Structure 1
Amino acid sequence: MLAGCTPTALSIQAAQEFDPRAIKTVAVAPFEVLSTPQVVSSVAGLTDEATQISAPEIIRTFEGEETPVPTRPLQQMRPIPSHAGEILAEMVSARLRLRPGIQVIPPKQTAQVLIPKASTDEGRDLQTRAQQLGRALSVDAVLTGLVRVYRERQGGPFGGTPAAVGFEVRLIRTSDGLTLWRGDFYEEQKPLTEDFLGFLRRGGRFVTVEELAHSGVVQVMRHLPLGQASPLAQLPATSIPLQVTWDITPLKRCPANTLTGRCP
């Protein structure tokens, strides 16, 4: 049976079989990047006029009028940057290395062990490859993840479209491929008009996507009970405090002792 909690931007799930004391060695793998493109609201490098479109129904309404036709930003699909997985993995590894009592193999070292993709199911393939990586490196578990959203802010720190980050982190046991622990994070910074206090806590500006990602990693890793957390590991994230609500409904178990996030 699994137990979980679901706050506004953070979700933590842990398998009942998870015994943190049994995990002494962990390899942190470079995170996978979701292959589905993400939406951006403007095309970098184009003028404001070039990045605006008008809906046909709006054009028809304003035909014959001298008033300018209203426009809306052009939405374009862009792939998630490939380096986003490396950045998040390094952040996770750095937080984990702050904890005594656990041996950590960093992403740059684990990346030297090539494990080919075997499935188009990104969640299930993530577990399979992590288990194979753990066996190759002779570690108790592998900490890996998947980047779902990594959108840089458009414009400067005081105007434009805010950054957004979404990712998951999984601790996968080498012996049987079971996901022992999983943390999911998503946040899109809100402007001053929508979140006054939160915007002030960010320094009264729009942060970069890397700053937002670091904040998310700190929040997620705070809930991973591996090793003995040092005082540095307990430093608060530079983010808005999350309102946590507990869900007492047991989560569904997936077939073959896996947790892919897409149970039947």
Structure 2
Amino acid sequence: MVKKYSVVFFLLFVCTLGAVSAASDIRAVLPFLGETQYAKLEAGEIVNGESVNGEPITPYFVDGSEAFARAQIAQGLEDGFSIAAVSYIPYGPKLLAMNDAERQLAIFNKIRAISTQEGLIYISWRAGNKPKVLIEKSAYMETEKDLNKLLPDPVATTFPLSAQSYVFQRDSSFGGNRYLHTYSNSDKEIFVSIQNISAMKVFGLFTAVPKGNLSINMGTYLLDEGVLLTALTTIEGRDPEVSVLGYKVDLPSAFKRRITALQNWFVAQLATIEME
């Protein structure tokens, strides 16, 4: 009986050490967040902020990372606004057993599996704050404009420091749009910049975000016990709220909901590594 309890206490001690280590990791790389934000991250929640009211957004990103550099630029934008978000995902057993190079390749391939975003659900304001399909179609394009030549998700066998692809996505809010995905990677960070190369329209008629004015940046950053997932959305030349035929679109709210849906998708993607 003593031996049985000793094993239980040992396992609890190991789990506690893991939680303490994860908390230390987060605080070390994101030193300027508040206690409430740290608690949310440690609980697996998304922490976010926006530059609409002059709030700094760099505290949500690891200093020295590509994401941090982009946040500094976005923070200084005078005509437009930015939204920042970060969450923490502990490694499962398989990811924990990998070295950084193996993790980066595994995570990179999961991020690029964009066809799995089809059917992605988000909480829709227009649907009365109820779940609704956000992304109806998601595929790579062979060229910038040809929608007749859609490609399967690529699978890398070696981890690249850079990559570029054209993507088509049709969603329930802005219809069909074309994007350019540009990756800037390092041994710790995977960073993808997503630029709209077609205008994003409401009701298929009225432009909400002109071509080239949307920048969605998603990134991962490896820590000892888990990975940080960051997002930075910047919209230039637009007020936070646009009105179309008397219908008001709150762009920060709309894109926060998208970020939440994408981060939930990524958590699910990481979980598939553990099941392979």
TM-based fold match above 0.5: no
If asked which structure has higher relative contact order (CA below 8 Å, sep 6+), I would say 1
Higher strand share: 2
TM-score (norm 1): 0.31
Larger radius of gyration: 1
More helix by share: 2
